[in-house]
Amino acid sequence: MSQLKDSAILVLSNLANKFFRFSRQLILAFFLGVSGEVDLLLVAQILPTIFLSIVGGAGGETLVTLIKNDKVDLRVAGLFMAFLQLVSLLFLATFFGLFHFLTDIFALEPGQSRQYAELSWILLFNVFPGVIVSVATPLLYLNKNYKYYAITTIVSEVVGLGAIFLLVPLKGILAFPLGTLVTSLLNMFLFLGRLQLDFKIFLRPGEWRELGGQLKSIFTRMGIVSGQTLVNYLGTFWDRSFGVRFLHEGYLSALNYATTLFELPNLVYNKSIGTTTYINQLKYSQDSKSKFEDYSRKIFKLTAVTAMVGQLLFVVLAPAFIIILYRRGKFDNDSVAGTLVILEILAMGLAPTVLLLFGSRMLYALQSFKQVFGAVFFRILIKISLITTLISVVPNILPISTTLTAYFAFIYVFVVVARITGIRFLSPGFLLAFAALLLLNLLAVFLNSHYFEYYLDAPIALIVIFAALVALLGGLGLWIFASKSGFLAILKKN
């Protein structure tokens, strides 16, 4: 019961934090819309975000894993964080040493370079508290401080959101990285106040020698974990660097708003059925091969039907989502039109993206980590190749490459699953259903284009009612399917 309660606290707090971060996107759209300034913010975020994920995210995960396995002493946590601050300082110096090289890569004008430098200063300063927060988070989990983590992160997100509201009329685009910095600093002080780590150990060289072997093992393992993270972010780096260089001003910001919407259903799946399915697959894989295969077949069918219906609904309702959530302030009808095309392309990859997550976690449950990494690596490689060769002739190659490579990776993963388990998920009937889905998606895109002006002129209340009715009908259909086919009973049982 305690574990269930802790899991519920974490899920709810993470969903709340995601909501507050999505609210930042709504504020960004309201005050700045689809613009070159937002493009610059997205470009300035790339390298600090990659660094935080590689150093902070991988560092925290590695540290806690080794502490759990009694391979390192908890005392090393303070020393490890102190060393990561030195690594962050080195990153800061390297970034500004390469500043002119980066502005050449992004093809920034002199005025843009100045604003890029201002944004980068704030985001790079955020790296210092951000690294500590990333490492401290799993330490709080280790100490069962779930409720404390939930409360403090929600408070920090609310304060950061408030800071953005107060600063945006004065500082414009700079308010958004400043709000992120406020959130990180508050989290850092609250987390460290709870953990009470010994940072003075950094000033005692004698203890460095005692803990040197443990520190070395953390950094060695961290390097291995960071590899896949770096590969994952290469696609984002290519998107933004080529987008700001070759595409029209504002394209990256439209892509950002569309991507934020596209990620919402993936988040819902990941935090609900996706997580419970993985836990059950992990249990069955250690218990009984037949149970594992039977459970996986049934859940795959339910997931596939849900994802395919969800994809169709997402494409149909794409104009409604953008108008309801974004169209206000600086986000005008032209912004709606530009964002809609991108969202429709991304939405046509919703089902393979969800099923790719299902297949990847199935391989994780079977301890087939290299195969998952292979899928990620080849997906990014194909994406980079498509963007590099086609960006000058295919205007929407960024979202197109994301969707096409989702299909590639999804098929690749399930071919590997079939080879390992003998289960053929990709039957001819399933592939035929997918082809029919794509045809329906194209029809929906045509209808969206045909009735686009009606959407723009319709009262917002009418659009909300229409979207709610379509979503309700889709959800009701899925509920009936799950009940009649017995899948609902399986979910309740597990």
Q: What does the DSSP assignment read for 238-304?
A: HHHHHHHHHSPTTHHHHHHHHHHHHHHHHHHHHHTHHHHHHHHHHHHHHH-HHHHHHHHHHHHHHHH
Does the pLDDT at position 450 exceed 80? yes
pLDDT digits (tens, 9 = 90+) for 381-425: 999 999 999 998 998 999 999 999 999 999 999 999 888 888 888
Helices (H), 106-145: 110-125, 127-142
Give every CB contact of residue 408 below 8 A, 6+ residues apart in sequence.
378, 379, 382
Q: With bands split at pLDDT 50, 70 and 90, how would you rate the model's confidence at 66? A: low
Nearest in space to 340 (alpha carbons), one of 439, 458, 237, 456: 456
Q: Exposed e or buried b for every residue in 389-400, given b needs 16+ CB within 10 A?
A: eebeeeebbbbb
pLDDT digits (tens, 9 = 90+) for 273-298: 666 676 677 677 767 777 777 888 88
Q: With bands split at pLDDT 50, 70 and 90, how would you rate the model's confidence at 317? A: very high
* Token pair of 463 as six digits: 């659009």
More confident residue, 58 or 243: 243
Mean pLDDT of 133-138: 85
- Predicted pLDDT of residue 209: 66
- The DSSP letter of residue 123 is H
Enter the pTM of the model: 0.86
